[in-house]
Structure 1
Amino acid sequence: MSRRARILGTLLLAGALTGLGAAPAQAQEYRYWSFWDGKGGSWAYATEGPATLRPADGAVAGFRFTVSADSAAAGQPRAAADFNAICAKTPAKDGDKRIGVVIDFGTAADASGGETPPQARTECARIPKDASAGDALAAVARPLRYDSNALLCAIAGYPKSGCADQVSGSGDAGSGASASSSSAPAASSGSGTAADGGGGDGGPSAGLLGGIAAVVVLGAAAVWQARRRRG
């Protein structure tokens, strides 16, 4: 192998090792309303927003004010997803459906600006059969507040201000401090699917991908040099 090829290989290998050793950036946490589907009596993070999800009669929709970086870390509603208990006193009606709604305002540590979270609530919404989970929430927990991107910001007036604010620092969830209003995990968006806000999808980091790419280039350079010698 020529001196030039050895130098090239050394540089590419250094880049590969640097990329592989790069630590992923710390996921940014957000303070926001998460949206949950009470399937079979247990909570599952919703795969679409409340404005597009149209639950069947007997379903339970859950909302939890939480601080997290992604859906995997989001706190689920602490009340049971028990439709029979929630809607026991709401009779069925022809042409309508009944949806159990659980609203968990979170903990004092999750609150922003010194606010005190209200007590958790369970409600039974009786709404038209083609109505959405967002319609069920609006029927029992006004006033609701949305931002210009249809992200759910407040339920029953809580919180009074802010919308999916970034929490400044990994350990500041209880401090009430926020840095900006960038979008949080969007499961409570009125417009679409849930999306993790901070790298909680389990995919490879940018550093790892860069390292892999450098290793591929290094291997290609070695093959090219070997073919050149044989030629």
Structure 2
Amino acid sequence: MRRASGTAALLLLAGAVLAVLGAGTAQAAGYRYWSFWEGDGGKSWTYATQGPSVVRPDDGAVQGFRFSVSEDSQDSAQPRRAPDFGAVCADTPAKDGRKRIALVIDPGTAADAPDGETPPALRTACAQVAPDASAAEALASVAKPLRYDDSAMLCAISGYPRAGCGEQTDGSSGAAPEQSQDQAKSEDQDRAADDGQGGGPSAGVLTGVGAVLALGVAAVLRARRRR
């Protein structure tokens, strides 16, 4: 009977530890939104540090938009087409007093789509706009209708998705991603610093585990004293 009591205490301890660790993991949440990318002059993408309404690209630039679910800017999915200005704007001749911006618009995969919606096909477009036009203005010239929320966050391109804007995929009511992507990166770095290693359990979770272990050891010792 005493041995059974000790075993039961250890089993309860193990279950409690798993519950605490599980709670820490469940805190992570993804967001469904359009991310904004800039071609780096080669064949790769760089996550933009400013929103498309702020960026005013030069003639010959490549801008990308990708709809996906991601936890933060560090794991956001890139457009699935290389930023090749020559390929995108090959059939659009240059004009005096205008600039050409190559756009890659990637609505993502079915796994990223909101319930009841099917993502349209990835497409490219060459926007020919005024020299001082922003990336948002270049996008609007080739991919209407666009939809924005009250904070001017880009919610839909060419009407996709029909509803929603930066909502959490787990259904909770957390805040949507920030419009300013440099602020989003700063917040990601702050969270990583708070977590110590950025990817493991937080200090709060480890403290909880320590408390549970202490209670479990005390229970086992009490059981042994009764023998």
Report if TM-score (shorter chain) is over 0.5: yes
- Residue 136 of structure 2: SS of its match in structure 1? helix
**Which residue does the alignment assign to 2:64?**
62
| Whole-angstrom distance in 2 between the partners of 1:179 and 1:112 | 15
- Residue 81 of structure 1: SS of its match in structure 2? coil
**Which residue does the alignment assign to 1:183?**
176
CA distance change for structure 1 residues 53 and 88 in 2, over 3 Å: closer, same or farther? Answer: same
**Which residue does the alignment assign to 2:33?**
32
* Alignment pair present for 1:203 and 2:193: yes
**Which residue does the alignment assign to 1:85?**
87
Counterpart residue identity of residue 130, structure 1: D
1:91-116 per-residue CA deviation (whole Å, 9 max, x = no partner) reads 11111110000000000000002200
- Residue 84 of structure 1: SS of its match in structure 2? helix
Deviation of 1:65 (Å)? 0.2
| CA contact 1:46–1:194 (8 Å) conserved in 2 | no
What residue ranges of structure 2 are gaps of 5+ in the alignment?
Answer: 1-20, 197-201, 207-227
| CA contact 1:24–1:205 (8 Å) conserved in 2 | no
Which consecutive aligned stretches of 4+ in structure 1 deviate over 6 angstroms post-superposition?
none
The answer to which structure, 1 or 2, has the higher relative contact order (CA under 8 A, 6+ apart) is 1
- After TM superposition, the score normalised by the length of structure 2 is 0.71
Pick the aligned partner of 2:165 from 163, 166, 174.
163
| Whole-angstrom distance in 1 between the partners of 2:183 and 2:155 | 15
Deviation of 1:23 (Å)? 5.7
| Whole-angstrom distance in 2 between the partners of 1:192 and 1:205 | 21
Deviation of 1:179 (Å)? 3.7
**Structure whose residues are more often helix by fraction:** 2
- After TM superposition, the score normalised by the length of structure 1 is 0.70
What residue ranges of structure 1 are gaps of 5+ in the alignment?
Answer: 1-20, 169-177, 212-231
Percent same amino acid among aligned pairs? Answer: 56
What value does the CA root-mean-square deviation take over the aligned residues? 2.6
| CA contact 1:63–1:104 (8 Å) conserved in 2 | yes
- Residue 195 of structure 1: SS of its match in structure 2? helix
Total equivalences in the alignment: 177
Deviation of 1:123 (Å)? 0.2
| CA contact 2:73–2:188 (8 Å) conserved in 1 | no
**Which residue does the alignment assign to 1:3?**
none
Deviation of 1:72 (Å)? 1.1
**Which residue does the alignment assign to 1:128?**
130
